[in-house]
Structure 1
Amino acid sequence: MTDSRNNRRRFITAMAGAGTAALGIGQARAQDEMRFPGDDPEHFVIYQLNHGDAEYQTHVLNSMTAMIGKYGDNVQIAVACFAKGIHILAKEPMREVDEMLYARAEGFAKNYNVEWIACGNTMDTVGYSEDDIRDFARVEQVGAAALMEYQEKGYAYIAW
């Protein structure tokens, strides 16, 4: 973080702390909760989405909604899609994908910066090319390796 950003943070935190102290709330709480737009998140999670049924996918997406509800912009979410879950990332799915879930996936990417990862091996198996995958997703040749690499970066791994 740059010195000017650190100085700005200390100043605003001190002002917030002074205001909350005057209200009897305490400066420690203000410092713990002080975040600024563009700050790196403190929480990181990667979901595995590998089933095609709507109930399963709803559970995964609802969990993501709950994470965003709890942490706001203080969480970075990634989703690795493979096996039957790959179809939620296809421009023209080869299996049925619930329309609402299909739209929610894009909404998460555009509105909450959720990273969507398509497994290249699964794509090869079902016959998808990179051109067949929705624009907000990226392809990693080995989806399981992406899960491992995200965990190595400190992401919590969530699977059903």
Structure 2
Amino acid sequence: MRRLRLIQAALLLALLAPLAAGAQPARAAFKETVLSDPQPGFDDPRRILLQISTSDEREINNILWNAVNLQKFYGIDNVKIAVVAFGPGMVALYKDSPVRERIESLLKYGIEFLGCGNTMETTHRSPDDLIEGVDYVQAGIAEIVERQLDGWIYIKP
């Protein structure tokens, strides 16, 4: 009986030793994303359109992380990203935005931000209320439609 317990203890130690030493269980490697033709490049970048239509700060931050991850994946010179905000999502683009610093940072990396003029008019805001560098169009939703027709890939995270 004592011998059996010693053997069990030895087996348990043998199993736990690699974990105690900092070894991690083996994980499968990420499956590589295969790029479709034409391959994105400086002269023919992927054109991706993201939508912000929520005032929820967590959701807005998620959308901004999507933009960052797309630039990271394709490379800053191989992708054009435009973020269109309308309705409640316009809060992200105003100077008093809770994500103002992130928007300003992403503008420096070439991400385009467009606000909805109709929403500004309805909520009695003006272009002067927008973060510097943010542009606006008459209708955010119409901008999305037109860019899709022009070949932009539309994502609503």
The two structures have a TM-score, normalised by structure 1, of 0.68
1:7-156 correspondence to structure 2 within 5 Å: 39-72=42-75, 73-92=77-96, 97-98=97-98, 101-110=99-108, 112-156=109-153
Structure 1 residue 116: Cα displacement: 0.6
| Matched position secondary structure for 1:40 | coil
Q: Where does structure 1 lack aligned partners over 5 or more consecutive residues?
A: 1-31
Over aligned residue pairs, what C-alpha RMSD do you find? Answer: 1.9
Q: How many residues align?
A: 119
Instruction: Quote the Cα distance in structure 2 between the aligned partners of 1:142 and 1:74.
Output: 28
Cα drift, residue 140 of structure 1 = 0.4
The alignment's TM-score, normalised by the length of structure 2, stands at 0.69
Counterpart secondary structure, 2:103: helix
* Structure 2 residue identity aligned to 1:126: T
Match of 2:3 in 1: none
Q: Larger radius of gyration, structure 1 or 2? A: 2
Structure 1 residue 148: deviation in Å? 0.8
More helix by share: 1
Q: Give identity over the alignment, percent.
A: 32
- Cα distance, 1:42 vs. partner? 2.2
Q: Is the 8 A contact 2:40 2:46 kept in 1?
A: no
Kept in 2, the 8 Å contact 1:130–1:139? The answer is: yes
Q: Secondary structure of the residue that 2:113 maps to in structure 1? A: strand
Preserved contact between residue 48 and residue 152 of structure 2 (Cα < 8 Å) = yes
